[in-house]
């Protein structure tokens, strides 16, 4: 496991950001503007894995085209669907829609499959969009299509393995396409399903409530009077050290799990040298399972705590950052926002380093999870806890990105 000491983390900075080639022509940006991709025009962001589309002979992309065509027939209005996440147009339109506040004409349509949940990029899109939609009370804008069976989505909540993206999707009224995808694309059943989905999109646009910022819920206790901007900033500032501490505790426990794994590797080598065979290896695995019981329980609890705290306040923080970007913000509020934004970016830099190292650790134990039935449940729990931290980083990175884009009239902040 790479060194994840606090000192090492604080010595590193930088966080992943959504960027596009500097060499791309500005003409495409101008063209995008002239094409009027504004909040008034219905737009869908089609979130899928290219591998799934390839394995299904291009049916996923064709489905997006059929839905767009059906929508235009039903409403008389075009529905622009963005497909290629690597294109300049996707990035410009995605950022424009998020930063100008979503309206009932912007959808994220995830094509949910087992590979979708394995894609960190797809997971980031769901988490980011869900936070923005929730910040405006427009949860219906996230419209998942359950394309290939993902067992977690159909299990009862108490039986469902912990996966934050699955939870976000399961709380929506997803479209069931698991059997329909096997139909001929020109069959009556398939064409009717496409029509009904287009009608659902049109109905959401017609009936969605106006976008209203959510109230920020205080972290510690209920308040008789809603907190003002400075009070919210102060409370958030107070919460930041606790998040640092949680990440550091998480790293320390992961390091102890690494040490136990190293002990097991040494014991297996010694057992093999004595001719212990597979029986000797099984005995080491049994003891390792016992030694890991407590740290695995701790890492699971910490991962859940970290995700829950960040996801709960995410819509409110997004609303706060939007509020800070408004022209009429008071000077005192502007100063509070400036300080808070600086701390958000420091948090993003520190936790980004930890997240990268945790991803490497999670990848490294994949083989061990496959190789021992006794240890597999514990290693799967560790991987799920690590994924919670990785998913939480998406939230923090989005706060940092939004904060970077706010002009508070201070050159030092820019």
Fold of 26-207: Rossmann fold (3.40.50)
| Stretch (H or E) spanning 334 | helix 331-364
Query: Would the pLDDT of 246 be above 80?
Result: yes
User: What's the farthest any 2 CA atoms get from each other in the chain?
Assistant: 78
Delimit the domains of the chain by residue range: 26-207, 229-404
- Of 135 and 63, which is predicted with more confidence? 63
Query: Would the pLDDT of 129 be above 90?
Result: yes
pLDDT at 37: 45
pLDDT at 226: 55
Please report where in the chains the tokens 């306040």 appear, as a residue: 313
How many angstroms separate the CA atoms of 125 and 174, rounded?
16
Residues 6+ apart with CB under 8 A from 368: 261, 375, 379
pLDDT at 393: 92
How many angstroms separate the CA atoms of 189 and 183, rounded?
7
Which residue from 314, 313, 302, 312 is spatially nearest to 388, judged by alpha carbons?
Answer: 302
Is 197 exposed, middle or buried, given 0-12, 13-18 or 19+ CB atoms closer than 10 A?
buried
CA-only gyration radius of the chain, Å: 24
Span 353-360, mean pLDDT? 83
pLDDT at 6: 34
44: three-class secondary structure by DSSP: strand
The 3-state DSSP composition of the chain as helix, strand, coil percent (nearest 5) reads 65, 5, 30
Query: Would the pLDDT of 13 be above 90?
Result: no
pLDDT at 3: 38
Query: Would the pLDDT of 126 be above 70?
Result: yes
| 141-166 pLDDT, tens digit each | 999 999 999 988 887 656 555 788 99
Which residue from 69, 64, 70 is spatially nearest to 83, judged by alpha carbons?
Answer: 64
pLDDT at 19: 36
82: three-class secondary structure by DSSP: strand
Confidence of residue 334 (pLDDT cuts 50, 70, 90): confident
- Of 234 and 136, which is predicted with more confidence? 136
pLDDT at 160: 55
Query: Would the pLDDT of 178 be above 60?
Result: yes
List the structure tokens of 247: 């990440």
Could you give the percent of the chain with pLDDT greater than 90?
Answer: 32
pLDDT at 10: 38
| Average pLDDT of the chain to the nearest whole number | 80
| 277-321 pLDDT, tens digit each | 888 888 888 888 899 999 999 999 999 988 988 888 888 888 888
pLDDT at 110: 96
How many angstroms separate the CA atoms of 197 and 138, rounded?
18
pLDDT at 14: 36
Query: Could you name the CATH architecture of 229-404?
Result: Up-down Bundle (1.20)
pLDDT at 282: 85
Residues 6+ apart with CB under 8 A from 307: 164, 388, 389, 391, 392
Confidence of residue 30 (pLDDT cuts 50, 70, 90): very low
| 77-104 pLDDT, tens digit each | 999 999 977 777 888 888 888 887 777 7
Span 368-393, mean pLDDT? 82
- Of 144 and 220, which is predicted with more confidence? 144
């Amino acid at each position: 496991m790479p060194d994840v000491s606090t000192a090492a983390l604080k010595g590193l900075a930088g966080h992943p950001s959504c960027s596009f080639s500097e060499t791309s022509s500005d003409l495409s940006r101008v063209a995008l503007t002239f094409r009027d991709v504004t909040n008034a025009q219905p737009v869908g962001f089609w979130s899928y894995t290219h591998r799934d589309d390839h394995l299904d002979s291009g049916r996923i992309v064709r489905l997006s085209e059929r839905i767009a065509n059906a929508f235009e027939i039903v409403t008389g209005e075009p529905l622009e669907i963005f497909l290629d996440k690597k294109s300049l147009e996707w990035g410009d339109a995605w950022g424009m829609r998020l930063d100008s506040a979503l309206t009932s004409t912007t959808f994220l349509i995830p094509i949910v499959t087992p590979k979708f949940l394995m894609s960190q990029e797809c997971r980031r899109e769901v988490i980011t969009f869900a936070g923005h939609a929730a910040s405006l009370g427009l949860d219906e804008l996230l419209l998942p299509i359950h394309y290939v069976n993902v067992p977690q989505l159909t299990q009862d909540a108490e039986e469902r393995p912990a996966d934050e993206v699955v939870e976000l999707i399961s709380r929506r009224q997803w479209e069931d396409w698991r059997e329909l995808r096997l139909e001929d694309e020109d069959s009556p059943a398939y064409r009717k399903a496409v029509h009904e989905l287009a009608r659902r999109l049109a109905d959401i646009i017609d009936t969605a409530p106006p976008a209203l910022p959510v109230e920020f819920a205080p972290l510690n206790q209920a308040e008789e009077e809603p907190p003002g901007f400075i009070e919210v900033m102060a409370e958030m500032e107070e919460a930041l050290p606790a998040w640092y501490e949680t990440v550091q505790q998480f790293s320390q426990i992961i390091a102890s799990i690494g040490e136990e794994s190293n002990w097991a590797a040494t014991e297996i080598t010694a057992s093999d040298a004595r001719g212990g065979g597979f029986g000797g290896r099984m005995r080491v695995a049994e003891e390792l399972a016992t030694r890991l019981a407590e740290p695995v329980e701790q890492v699971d609890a910490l991962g859940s705590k970290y995700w829950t705290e960040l996801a709960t306040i995410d819509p409110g923080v997004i609303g706060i950052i939007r509020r800070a970007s408004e022209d009429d913000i008071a000077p005192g509020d502007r100063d509070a926002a400036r300080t808070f934004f600086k701390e958000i970016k420091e948090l993003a830099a520190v936790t980004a380093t930890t997240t990268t190292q945790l991803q490497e650790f999670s990848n490294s134990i994949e083989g061990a999870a496959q190789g021992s039935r006794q240890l597999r449940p514990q290693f799967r729990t560790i991987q799920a806890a690590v994924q919670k931290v990785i998913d939480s980083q998406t939230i923090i990175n989005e706060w940092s990105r939004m904060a970077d884009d706010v002009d508070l009239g201070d050159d030092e902040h820019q």
